[in-house]
Amino acid sequence: MTRPLEVKVASLLLVGAALAFVGLGVARGDSGALTFPLLLGVIGVLAGASVFAGKFATPVLVFAGLAAVAHAAIALSPVPLWIRIGSGVLAAAHVYAAVLVLTRPARVFMGKVTGDQS
């Protein structure tokens, strides 16, 4: 079965957001503030690979929800404006990835629902 576009985009968003968050952590220049971005980045890459492989939809949704909340908290915290804007965009990317994983083509691909029920 070929991967639907929703699965490809969700996987790309999760991996891209993970790499972007690690990039934000590195650009901040504080080595002490790099632990959380690295941890979330590794889990994000694993979640993106999981979506691409068509496995483990529920943990990916939990991760995307928690990552969106974490990014929203960062966006509302007293950090430089460019980090707040970046975290806001990353929060939106995680929410959109979760929505894409919940679409019917992605759920059929992951085996959560049966095929064509028109």
**Mean pLDDT for each consecutive 10-residue tract of the chain (118 residues)?**
89 94 86 86 93 87 93 92 92 95 89 67
d(CA 117, CA 115): 6
Provide the token pair at 58: 């529920």
Phi-psi sector, 29: left (phi>0), alpha (psi -120 to 50), beta: left
Whether the model pTM is above 0.75: yes
